[in-house]
Structure formats: structure tokens, C-alpha cells
Structure 1
Amino acid sequence: MRKIFNFTVIILCILYFLSMFLNPQLIIQSTTKSVIIWWEKVLPSLFPYFLVINVLIESKLISHISNIFFLPSKKLFKLSPNGLLTMLIGMLTGYPVGSKMVCNLYSQKLISKNEAIRLLYFVNNSGPLFIIGTVGINLLSSKKYGYILFFAHILASLIIAFCTSRFAQSEILSASELYKPLNFDIGKVLSKSVKDSIESILIIGGFITLFFNLNNILDYFKIYHLICNLLKFVGADATLVKGLLYGFFEITNGCVQINTNPLPVWQKLIASELIISWGGLSVHFQTISFLSAAGLQSFHYIIGKLIQSALSTALITLIFIILSL
């Protein structure tokens, strides 16, 4: 498997370099567009979250705030209060805030390694702003569809969290561990939080640009066209296949491809849910970079995303049938 992966990376690198010589304008335009998206959409929405979360963790304030989740974390999911707070933030913010928060908490020894691994199965989710606003309202022209997509996405995550809790020991700490006195240097906390937040947001921007370019390069060399033509023989819709291929690499591109083409509504909803829950290789490489820095393996995270993709797609199909949309 590793040899296949390495070979694929080499091929993509060769295509990347060839495109720079054959069509440099494509790379320039693609990079410019990706940087604009990062500047206008990603930086304003994610940087404040990263900054606040880093301040909470570095100052240990998060341990005091998370105490309100003491009973729910123990009864429902067998998570520590910090773990449950991470889960909630991961559901309400967006990629890759959940996984980044897990890495920060684990690095600060505020959650155990077992809990960090379990959180990786379900904590990294797409946020309501993207699903309801971008996909639902802007692309599908329906707030209702946006809420349905978000409901299926989060329900799948909750099901995984509940199922994994059946095989886990409770992560509740003792009362003395929960109420540690606060003692921190606000200057150092703010300085480190700003530095870490800027570093994280720059890493995300780099991966967005990389995979944005890769999608355009694969399209330029007609690789997507070739795959679509091959799958036509088994009755697959070329537009749907191309949208899923885009979404496999980068979530926004995939959702745009699916929802701006003439496809039946049920196909748009199911394909959008699959792309949203998968998250795209762009998000996964962002997450893996954070996991590597924290000393955590990516295996559990990838398995979790595969399970969530299958589960949320099944849920959206069931909802579509029940509501007869």
C-alpha cells in the first residue's frame, strides 16, 4: 500500500512540474484563486477560533469551563469534560478545528492518549456555516436542504461517538484534578497563542493551494475526463463522477461541481453529504500535519472519516426516502 501511495505522489509531482512548463498561466490563476478563497473565507472564519482555543488551553482556563459538561460527558460518551467540549466545538466550527484542538489538549496533557485517539474518530466535522450557508443556501438555493445535510452529518458523528463509548472506560478525572488553580503569564499565553494560530492557518492555506492546483492539473491533463469516460460503461453519470473526484481532493470544489450542474436533487444531496463527511484530502493532510506534530497516528482519524462518510450517506438517503423530497 505504501509503495502505491508513494508512486501516486511521484506521478502527481511530475504532472505538477509539467503543468508549470506547459501551462504556467493555469498554475498562476489557480494559485491566485486559492489564495483569495483562503484570505476571504478561511482566514476570517478559522483564525479567531484557533486563537481563542489556544488561549483557553495555554492558560488552562478550558479545564474550568469544561466542568459544566461533567455529568453529560460521564453518562453519555464516557469522555472527560475537556473531551466533550472538544467534541462540541468540533461540531460547531468546521474542519480542521476539532482535530487541532485534540492535538493541543493532548500536547498539554489535558486529555489522555486513549481519549485523544477515540476523539479522532468523530471530532473533526464540517461546520454549520459551510453546510447550511454555502452548500444549502448558496449552491442548492434551499436552507431546508442545508439543515438536512447538517443534521445527517452531525448525527453520524454522534452515533460514532456513542458506539465507541461502549468499548471505552470513563475518562472522568477526580475532583482535585478538575479544579486546579489558575496561574499563568498572560503575555506569554497571548504571544504563544497568536504564533501557533498563525502557523496553523498558514499550513491550512498551503494545503488548500496545493490541492486546488492538483484538481486543476488533473483536469488539464484530461485524467478526470478519462476516468469519467471509463465509468460511463457502467452507467455512471460523468458530471456526478467528476464532482466526486473533485470532492475527493478538496471539499469546496467538489460541492460546487455537484451542485452547479443539472443533476437530480437526490443525487446532489447524497453526493454533497458524501463529500462533506469525507472532507477531502486537503483537510486530511492538514489534520495529519497537526497529528504528526503532536505524536499521534492518523490511522484512527482516516478510519473514522470513512465510517462517517458511509453512515452519513446512508442517513441522508433514509431521510430523503422518509420525507419524499
Structure 2
Amino acid sequence: MKKKAPLRFTPAAATLVLGAGALALVAAIVSSPSPAFQASLQGLKLWWQIVFPALLPFLVLSEILTAYGFIHALGTWLEPLMKRLFKLPGVGGWVLAMGMTTGFPGGAQAAKQLYDQGDLSGPDAGKLAALSHFCNPMLILVVIATGLMHEPAAGYVVLAVHWLAGLLAYLLIGHRGAGKDAASQAAEKPDEGKNKPSMLRRSLHAAKAAHAKDGRGFGRLLGDSVTNAVQTLMMVGGYIIIFAVVIQIAGRFLPPGLPSYWLSGAFEVHLGTNDASTAAFAAERLQWSVISALLGFSGISALLQSMSVLRKAGMRWFPFALVRLLHGALAFAAAWLVWPLVRYFPKNADHAFLGSEAIPSDWNAYFSLWKAVPQLLQWQGALLAAMIACSLLFKLLHPSRKHTG
């Protein structure tokens, strides 16, 4: 007896479904243009006031540092940590730091740059994007904790939970996959010989080789970096605006009694956390746990942003989405468990992330977040220093095996 062939979603069927969805969206916008316009305006403000200033300097800086070989030199120092803990090439350390300190899709964009240069294989680029997919600390500490919830102390707890839950989710299921290809094997060759160069010499050689391979002058590199960064951010803005409209339209059909933050959080994390901050909860602990879960999942919009950046690398959507779902679940559980720690933080302390300046409480008042760039750079430097220290500790505790002939 012949087995029936499994049903497959053919490209023609996908085109038909997407076309029908686009037609329904246009019909809904035409039927009620005013609410759709207000929703798109809200998405535009969100992108321009928060996402654009938070990401632009770092996307430009990332491409310049990659072209000049700094990332490859740093990867030499981070190699023990990345290879032994996350099973990824050492250059991925910079990508992880980018994702943790700048937010999505900064990690995916940094992975794409290394993939385009041939320093990452397609599977490794996808895994690295899953590992480095985090929300911007500015969103958690400034916008949500201080501006919306008026609880700066809780922001630091949620940020720590967000980072640790994301790393744990990747370690549990994200690093699994098929066998490594030639590019990955070349990046993971064991050190041979007793007279191998020192780590400092190897890092300088890696930087020189990467810069020679890129070959662009500073003027052209700067122009390319700005162009690519703005192009990426325009794509991100388009996603945010269109999903703001989708959330507004889908909200018309929301069943009575279902909290609005579940719908908005499933599509767009900024709008979802905003709704969760104004919703009525039985306990503050539950409210922060829900916000932590929404931040961990990050929303369909954020998933599509990262996957669109790495489309050419053949990034698989199912493993990436699975890691995000697990990230959200772990973040909810961890926030619930560690919530009692919040009472040990001073309630009215100055906000260390942006200094002691007054922070507005209106969601639409965040127009001056460019001033946070120096603080974000400090955070990024501190995180890289901590990662290098951990990497050196890994190397001391687990020295590489010598291969004798």
C-alpha cells in the first residue's frame, strides 16, 4: 500500500494566501482609514523616536569595525568561550555583544556582515542570529521600567532575566543542527604544534588579513556603512508600521475579555509591552512576568526583521521561532521567581543608564534618545571585557589539546 505524500505548502499556494491577506488588509484600511492612519503614525513615531536612534550608530560602527578587522581580532580572544560554550566561531562574540546591547536586528545584521565576508557559514549565521536576538536595553530600562512603569529597579532585574533566559534558551535547543560544513570546520580547527603564535600575535594577524580581504578605503567604507545601515532601518521601520496597522485591524475582532497585550505583543513587542504596562493585573509580579515573556518572544515583527536580514544565508524560521518561544517561557518563569529581589533595590535612585536627568513618562515623548549612545557604548565595552575574561578563564580551565604526529 502506497503512502500518501505529505501535504506541502507550495510557492503558488503561499502567493495566493499572501495575496488574499494583502487584499483583506487593504479592504480593512479603506473601510476605516482614520484608525489605520493613527496606528501607522504610532508605528512611525515608535521607529523614529526609539528604534532609529538606538540602532543607527551601532550598525554603521559594526560594518566599519568588521572591514578593518577589529571583529576578527576580537574573535581570537573570544574563541574559547564561543567554541566551547556555544559551538560557534570566535568572531561570533562581537555579534552576541551587538545583539545584547543594541537589540534586534543588530545581531542579525552583524552576522550577515560576517557571512558576506565568508567568515561564517549559512547555518552558523542563523544560529548566531538566534543567540544574539535580544531587545534593546534602552527599551527595557528607560522606556518600560522608568517611563511606563516608574520602577527603575525592576528594569535591571528584567534585563538580567532577559539576557540569561535568552542564553539558556539557545543552549537548550538553539545550538542543535545538522553537521558542519567546510566553513565551520575551518573556523574550528584545533591548534597544532607547540610553537603556535601567541594570542596577541594571532589577533593582529587576523585583523590584518581581514582588512586586506575587504580592501575598501575609508571614504567608500563610510558611505557603504551609512547606506546599508539606513537601508536596514528602513526595512525595520516598514515592519513596525505595517504591524501597527495589522494590530489595530485585528483588534476589532478581538474576543471580549481577551487582554489586548496578547494580540499586540504577539505581533510587535514595543506596542505589546506598552499595552501590558497599562493593563489591570491582580499583582505587580504577574504584570512584570508577562512583560518579561513578551520581551523574550519579541513579536512576529522582530522575528521577520532578523530573518529578512539573513534571508540570503538560508536562515530557517522554525528553529529560530522555537528558540524565541522558549525564551519567552523561561523569561516569564525566571521573572516570577526572582521578583522578590526587586525590593532590595533603592526605589528612587538616579537612573544609571541615562544619568540623573528627568525621564518623561509619555510614550511619545522619547525624542532625545541619541544622548544614550555614549552609555550604550560603555555597556558594550563592559560586556565585551566580561566576555573576554570568561573566554580566557575557559582557556585556562580547558586548555586545547596538543596533537602530536
Q: TM class by shorter-chain length?
A: 0.7 to 0.9
Structure 1 residue 278 displacement after superposition: 0.8
Task: Go from structure 1 to structure 2 and tell me whether the alpha carbon gap of 1:308 and 1:147 turns closer, same or farther (over 3 Å shift).
Answer: same
Q: Deviations over 1:255-310 (max 9, x none)?
A: 11111122121221121111111111111121121121333332322121122112
Q: Quick check: 1:272 aligned with 2:291?
A: yes
Given that residues 38 and 205 in structure 1 are in contact (C-alpha distance below 8 angstroms), is that contact kept between their aligned partners in structure 2?
yes
Identity level (%): 22
1:23 and 1:293 map into 2 onto residues whose CA distance is 37
Alignment-derived partner of residue 235 in structure 1: none
The DSSP-based 3-state class of the residue aligned with 1:81 is coil
Is it true that 1:67 corresponds to 2:76 in the alignment?
yes
Match of 1:160 in 2: 169
Deviation at 1:172, TM superposition (A): 4.1
Unaligned runs of 5+ in 1: 233-237
Counterpart of 1:298 in structure 2 is 317
- CA distance in 2: counterparts of 1:215 and 1:8, whole angstroms: 19
Picking from 238, 242, 253, the partner of 2:260 is: 242
Matched residues in 2 for 1:90 and 1:278: separation?
A: 15
Asked if structure 2 preserves the Cα contact closer than 8 Å seen for 1:122 and 1:158, the reply is yes
In the alignment, structure 1 residue 98 sits paired with structure 2 residue 107:
yes
Q: Counterpart of 1:77 in structure 2: which amino acid?
A: F
How many residue pairs get matched? 311
The 1-side partners of 2:86 and 2:33 are apart by 51
Once the two structures are TM-superposed, the CA of residue 223 in structure 1 deviates from its matched residue by 0.9
TM-score w.r.t. the length of structure 1 is 0.84
Q: 1:309 to 1:114 in 2, by over 3 A?
A: same
Q: Using a 3 Å threshold, how does the CA distance of structure 1 residues 285 and 75 change in structure 2: closer, same or farther?
A: closer
The whole-number CA distance in structure 2 between the counterparts of 1:8 and 1:137 is 42
Q: 1:30 aligns with which of 39, 47, 51?
A: 39
Structure 1, residues 7-53: CA drift from partner, whole Å, max 9, x if none? 87556434422233222222222222222222221111111111111
Q: Is the 8 A contact 1:291 1:297 kept in 2?
A: no
User: Does residue 42 of structure 1 match 2:70?
Assistant: no
Corresponding residue to 1:200 among 232, 257, 274: 232
Determine the C-alpha separation between the residues in 1 that align with 2:266 and 2:78. 35
Q: Report if aligned partners of 1:15, 1:217 keep a CA contact under 8 Å in 2.
A: no
| Whole-angstrom CA distance in 2 between matches of 1:85 and 1:253 | 29
Call closer, same or farther: CA 1:42–1:107 in 2, change over 3 Å.
same
Q: Is the 8 A contact 2:71 2:91 kept in 1?
A: yes
For residues 38 and 117 of structure 1, the distance between their equivalents in structure 2, rounded to whole angstroms, comes to 25
Q: Secondary structure at the match of 2:310?
A: helix
What is the identity, as a one-letter code, of the residue corresponding to 2:67?
E
Alignment match of 1:319 (pick from 331, 338, 360)? 338
| Residue in structure 1 matched with residue 151 of structure 2 by the alignment | 142
- The corresponding residue for 2:272 is 254
Shift of 1:205: 0.7
Give distance in 2, aligned partners of 1:298 and 1:44. 28
Larger RCO, structures 1/2 (Cα 8 Å, 6+ apart): 2
User: TM-score normalized by structure 2?
Assistant: 0.69
**Distance in 1, Cα, partners of 2:170 & 2:206:** 23
Question: Matched residues in 2 for 1:197 and 1:165: separation?
Answer: 28
* Distance of aligned partners of 1:12 and 1:148 in 2 relative to their CA distance in 1, 3 Å threshold: farther
- Which residues of structure 2 form unaligned runs of 5+? 1-7, 192-196, 345-405
* Counterpart amino acid of residue 272 in structure 2: G
State the distance in 1 between where 2:91 and 2:98 align.
11
- Once the two structures are overlaid, the 10-residue window that deviates more, 32-41 or 275-284, is 32-41
Q: Does 1:307 align with 2:326?
A: yes
Q: Which sits farther off after the overlay, 290-299 or 206-215?
A: 290-299
Matched, 1:214 2:262: no
For 2:129 and 2:74, how far apart are their aligned partners in 1?
22
Query: Could you tell me how far apart the structure 1 residues matched to 2:165 and 2:15 are?
Result: 32
Larger Rg: 2
Which residue identity does 1:113 align to in structure 2?
Answer: G
| DSSP-derived class of the 2:131 partner | coil
The whole-number CA distance in structure 1 between the counterparts of 2:176 and 2:17 is 38
Cα 1:165/1:16, change in 2 over 3 Å: closer
Question: What's the CA shift for 1:131?
Answer: 1.0
Contact 1:255 1:272 in 2 (8 A): yes
- Deviation track 1:50-104 (CA, whole Å, cap 9, x = no partner) reads 1111212233332123333234334433432211221122111112111221122
Secondary structure of 1:95's partner? coil
1:12–1:317 CA distance, 2 compared to 1 (3 A): farther
Deviations 1:215-238 (A, max 9, x none): 11122xx212x2xx3xx5xxxxx3
Instruction: Tell me, yes or no, if the aligned pair for 2:47 and 2:237 is still in contact at 8 Å.
Output: yes
Cα RMSD over matched residues? 2.9
In the alignment, the residues of structure 1 paired with residue 17 and residue 125 of structure 2 have an alpha-carbon distance, to the nearest angstrom, of: 30
Letter matched to residue 134 of structure 2? N
Residues 319 and 9 (structure 1 numbering): CA distance in 2 closer, same or farther, change over 3 Å? Answer: farther
| Residues 97-138 of structure 1: per-residue CA shift (max 9 Å, x gap) | 112211221121122334223223321111211112111111
CA gap of 1:218–1:6, structure 2 versus 1, over 3 A, is: farther
Q: 119-128 vs 106-115, which deviates more?
A: 106-115
Q: Which amino acid aligns with 1:101?
A: A
> Aligned partners of 1:284, 1:165: CA distance in 2, in Å?
18
Kindly indicate whether the alpha-carbon contact (under 8 Å) linking 1:58 and 1:193 is maintained by their aligned counterparts in 2: no
